[in-house]
Structure 1
Amino acid sequence: MPSPESVWNTAPTSAPAQRRGRYVAGSAAHPAKMLPGIAAHAIRAYTRPGDLVLDPMCGIGTTLVEAIRLGRNALGVEYEAQWSNLARLNVAAAEHDGRATGGVHRGDARELTGFIPVALRGTVDLVVTSPPYGSSVHGQVRSSRETGERGVVKKDFRYSQDPANLAHVSTDRLLDAFTEILVQCRIMLRPGGTVVVTTRPWRERGELVDLPSAVLAAGKAAGLTPTERCAALLAGIRDSRLVARPSFFQMKNVRDARRQGIPLAVVQHEDVLVFTHPARPLGAREPESAAGGERCDGRPRRTPAVGGFRSRTCRGGCHHG
């Protein structure tokens, strides 16, 4: 059931508070973690307990952890060994309550259908992900009190040193690659399934890069149907006012820009683009069950586990995946 709110109140507490006690040591080093509240809101809004959630660029596994804790099964793909190892540890910790299961594959998301079991194709209910931001990632700082040095020292501001990582490519190449990734996700989705992409614009040499609009075009090119555009808050709400929680570098960039006469403001939200997988191609006949009885409603149901996850058939008996 789609969320009726266009503005998601996803940051009632800070990001460190949302992660505390739920992620293993080392997770904080990832430079562009999804806010857990955003992942959880999307999962609650677009899935039901027992559904399957996929993140094709899962990083430390935030989407997977939040899905498992909400009783949804989770599947993640991550290119970097450092982050995929942390994602596996975070998933294992989340699985302790026994409500759901998760799995993490290391690989290139542009080829995910090549290494994810074929039985899972067409069974994913929800994809939640975010494209890498490359050089716009700010990372974290260590103060002089921590280092004993003058000023601040920047840390944890790169995904990796691998030049093949999409975080290091040009915006045009990133968008081409992200379109390929969304095509792979569409193959994994069940008919009528949902894709949620969180993103934001950034400035490159003073010019605004409208990544949300570009991602919207990428989704359409991948064969997905845009259905909603929402705002997920990165700021808290207190007495009907926003409480900003900017990073050190966000504040510095805003101040530097304003000194140059550029009316830059602190980022208060992520753009959330919501797509659906068309239930069937335009003009296609409505499928029937193998027995010729109840028609397929496009909504799979659970059958015995296959490869650690459950393969499913629809209520009309048709096999999805």
Structure 2
Amino acid sequence: MNNELPMSVWATAQTAPSTQRKNRYTRESTAHPAKMLPDVARYAIAHYTKPGDLVLDPMCGIGTTVVEAVHLGRRAVGIEYEPHWVTVANNNLALATEHGIDHDGQVFHGDARQLSTLLPAELRGEAALVVTSPPYGPSTHGRVAVAPGEGIQKYFHQYGSTLDRGNLANIGHHRLLSGFTRILTALAEFMRPGGHIAITVRPWREHAELIDLPSQILTCGRNAGLIPVERCVALLARVAEHDFVARGSFFQRDFLRKQREAGLPLHLIAHEDVLVFRTPLRPSRTAAVEARAA
């Protein structure tokens, strides 16, 4: 990771995730395996855009980026691969309407690797900000329940059908990076010159080996022609008077306990990296042609 990039710390977990989502998201939203923390999206949108700007999320899940954008008076567009989550995201936008938010927000169904064929032509060159996150880290996802005689059971921890090889979450780590680079490259066609792309990401352990996904995503962004401008820390723990109060899930704590018993001195994840890129100040004709051909 480039240590020369400016860094800031975002206090994005002062309230619990359930509190942040209360009355803004439907009950069905809780089943998504990797929901973005609303305050992370909210901070990025408030910091990098103005009211009326267009905010885009090419892998929007339950629509957190889109929902938080419309609540802040921005226009918003999301793309989601899995039809079920498209429905949930649109239901969350409908909930915003019920709460009196007169918004310009919509979610499209499709594969973000085909971005140029999914989004209306009038959106080209319009987006001021992208806020998104790749699918990653199954050890960090999921909820648990205790069933009599069955012990602890994990659920809500997978993306769709594991047999669906079109889903980036199911095609292996290296192909995920390749697909995500393709998405980032295609985004240039819809971004304003100098627009920002904020990507939330964290490392994870795979068979005790640390997968440094933030560094790999930084490389993906550079390969897509984006310019790294910041590396931020979005806290997943509450800042108290003298320390941090971790908000790790039961499964994260259980995973940590097992790893420590096996001799691996891990700690509970207390933040996500937010890698912030911008597009060139002058649009590249070559990049736009390559994005359409990808």
TM-score (norm 1): 0.83
Q: Write out aligned runs for 1:301-312 (5 A).
A: none
The partner residue of 2:125 within 122, 131, 137 is 122
Q: Deviations over 1:172-227 (max 9, x none)?
A: 10000000010111211000100000000001111110000000000001110000
Contact kept? 1:137, 1:158, Cα under 8 Å: no
Task: Report 1:101-116 matches (<5 A).
Answer: 101-116=104-119
- Residue 154 of structure 1 is matched in structure 2 by 154
Indicate how the Cα distance of structure 1 residues 41 and 98 shifts in structure 2: closer, same or farther if over 3 A, else same: same
Q: Give secondary structure in 2 for the equivalent of 1:143.
A: strand
Quote the Cα distance in structure 2 between the aligned partners of 1:281 and 1:110.
Answer: 20
Compute the displacement of 1:135 (Å): 3.4
Aligned position for 2:274: 272
Cα separation, 2, equivalents of 1:112 and 1:136: 29
Q: Take 1:137 and 1:175, find their aligned partners in 2: how far apart are those partners?
A: 19
Q: Which residue in 1 is equivalent to 2:22?
A: 20
Q: Is the 8 A contact 2:140 2:252 kept in 1?
A: no
Q: Which residue is equivalent to 2:289? A: none
d(CA) in 1 for partners of 2:22 and 2:115?
31
1:271 alignment partner, SS class:
strand
Alpha-carbon offset, residue 240 of structure 1: 3.0
The answer to which structure, 1 or 2, has the higher relative contact order (CA under 8 A, 6+ apart) is 2
Aligned-pair CA distance for 1:98? 3.7
Task: Output the amino acid matched with 1:101.
Answer: D
- Secondary structure of the structure 1 residue equivalent to 2:27: coil
Amino acid at match of 1:172: H
- CA–CA distance in structure 1, aligned partners of residues 272 and 137 of structure 2: 16
> 2:7·2:230 contact (CA, 8 Å) conserved in 1?
no
Q: Deviations over 1:64-103 (max 9, x none)?
A: 0000000001000000001011001111222342443101
1:1-321 mapped onto 2 (5 Å cutoff): 6-96=8-98, 97-133=100-136, 135-144=138-147, 148-161=148-161, 162-280=164-282
Bigger mean CA offset, 192-201 vs 114-123: 114-123
Counterpart contact for 2:194–2:281, Cα < 8 Å: yes
What is the CA–CA distance in structure 2 between the aligned matches of 1:176 and 1:5, rounded to whole Å?
Answer: 27
CA deviation map 1:261-304 (0-9, x unaligned)? 2110000000000000111169xxxxxxxxxxxxxxxxxxxxxx
CA distance in 2, matches of 1:196, 1:231: 12
- State the shift of 1:143 in Å: 2.6
Contact 1:134/1:169 (8 A) holds in 2: no
Tell whether the 8 Å contact from 1:135 to 1:168 is kept in structure 2 after alignment: no
Q: Distance in 2 between matches of 1:150 and 1:118?
A: 53
Partner SS, residue 239 of structure 2: strand
Aligned to 1:301: none
| Offset of residue 6 of structure 1 | 0.5
Instruction: State whether residues 177 and 220 of structure 2, in contact with CA within 8 Å, keep that contact through their aligned partners in structure 1.
Output: yes
CA shift in 2, pair 1:21/1:5, >3 Å = farther
CA distance in 2, matches of 1:107, 1:281: 26
The CA deviation at 1:137 is 4.5
Extract structure 1 runs of 4+ deviating beyond 3 A.
134-137
| Separation in 1, partners of 2:141, 2:95 | 28
SS of residue matched to 1:103 = strand
How far off its partner does 1:253 sit? 1.5
Range with bigger deviation, 161-170 or 41-50: 161-170
- Structure in which a larger fraction of residues adopt helix: 2
Cα separation, 1, equivalents of 2:97 and 2:55: 15
State the Cα RMSD in Å.
1.5
- How many Å separate the matches in 2 of 1:24 and 1:249? 23
Q: Is the 8 A contact 1:233 1:268 kept in 2?
A: yes
Tell me, yes or no, if the aligned pair for 2:232 and 2:274 is still in contact at 8 Å: yes
In structure 1, C-alpha distance between the alignment counterparts of 2:195 and 2:86, rounded to whole Å = 25
